[in-house]
Amino acid sequence: MVKKNKRDGSTSRAKAEDVFDSEDYLLAQTITLLRQRLSQSRLPPCLSGCDEERRLLADLVQRTVSSGESNSVLVIGPRGAGKSMIVKSVLQDIEESGKGNLKQNAMIVRLNGLLQTDDRIALKEITRQLQLENTVGDRVFGSFSENLQFLLEALKSGDQASKPIVFVLEEFDMFAQHRGQTLLYNLFDVSQSAQSPICVIGVTCRYDVVELLEKRVKSRFSHRQIHIFNNITFTDYSSLCVSYLSLDDSFPSQQFASKWNSHVKEVVEGPTVKDVLSRQFSLSKDTSVICGLKPDHPNLTPSDFVESFHRMSTDSKSSVLHGISILELCLIISMKHLTDIYSGEPFNFEMVYSEYLKFAQRRSSVQVFDKAVVLKAFEHLIALELIRPMDGGNTRVQKEYRLMSLQLHATQIMDSLQKYPNCPTDVKYWASSSFT
Partner 1 sequence: MESMEGKGTTDQQPVCHCWGHDSALVNYLRQQIRCRDPQIDLLLSLFGERTHLTPASIFLYGHTATGKTYMVSMILSTLQLPAVSVNCVECYSSRFLFEYILNNLPGRDDAAVSVTCDNMNDFVRLLKQGVSSQNLQDQTLYIVLDRAERLREMDINILPALLRMQELTGLNICTLFLSEIVWEKFQYGTAFCDPVVVYMPDYTQEELMQIMLLDCPSSQSEDLYRNYVSLFLSVFYRVCRDLRELRHMALLNFPKYTEPVEKGEASEKDMRKLWRNIEPHLKKALQTVYLREVSSAQWEEMQRSQVSEDEAGPATATPFPPVDQSRFPPGTRAPAANTLPLHVTGRLLLEAGVPRLITGAAPTIGNIAPGGTPALATLPGATHPRTPGVPHAHATTPHAIPADDAVRSEELVGPCLSASLLSGKLDKYRLPGTFCPSLRLSIPVELPYYSKYLLVAAYLASYNPVVSDKRFFCKNAGKISRRSKLIKKHERASNHLLGPKPFPMDRLLAIFYSIIEDKIAPSACIFSQITSLVSLHLLGQTCADSQIDMPRYKCLVSLDFIRSVARTIGFDVMKYLYDFI
Regarding 19 and contact with partner 1 (CB under 8 A), the answer is no
* Closer CB to partner 1, 68 or 292, in the complex: 292
Polymer length in residues for the chain: 436
Regarding 279 and contact with partner 1 (CB under 8 A), the answer is no
- Angstrom distance (rounded) from CA 357 to CA 359: 5
Q: For residue 341, give the nearest of 349, 350, 333 by alpha carbon.
A: 333
**274, 275, 280, 285 alpha-carbon torsion, rounded to 10°:** 50
Regarding 306 and contact with partner 1 (CB under 8 A), the answer is no
Stretch that binds partner 1, among 54-62, 239-247, 265-273, 318-326 (CB under 8 A): 318-326
* Closer CB to partner 1, 398 or 418, in the complex: 398
Regarding 41 and contact with partner 1 (CB under 8 A), the answer is yes
Q: For residue 331, give the nearest of 350, 352, 317 by alpha carbon.
A: 352
What track of x and - describes contact with partner 1 for positions 213 through 252 (by CB under 8 A)? ----------------------------------------
Stretch that binds partner 1, among 98-106, 156-164, 222-230, 292-300 (CB under 8 A): 292-300
Regarding 396 and contact with partner 1 (CB under 8 A), the answer is yes
Closest approach, Cβ 317 to partner 1, in A, equals: 6
Contact predicate 418/319, CB 8 Å: no
E strand segments, 213-272: 225-227
Pairing status of strand 404-406 against strand 387-389: antiparallel
The residues in 152-181 that bind partner 1, with binding defined as CB under 8 A, are 171, 173-174
- Interface residue with partner 1 among 158, 180, 252, 323 (CB under 8 A) is 323
- Angstrom distance (rounded) from CA 144 to CA 123: 8
- Angstrom distance (rounded) from CA 247 to CA 295: 16
Regarding 372 and contact with partner 1 (CB under 8 A), the answer is yes
- Interface residue with partner 1 among 132, 306, 320, 414 (CB under 8 A) is 320
Stretch that binds partner 1, among 97-105, 107-115, 236-244, 267-275 (CB under 8 A): 107-115
Regarding 385 and contact with partner 1 (CB under 8 A), the answer is yes
* Distance (Å) of CA 136 to CA 128, 313, 366: 10, 53, 76
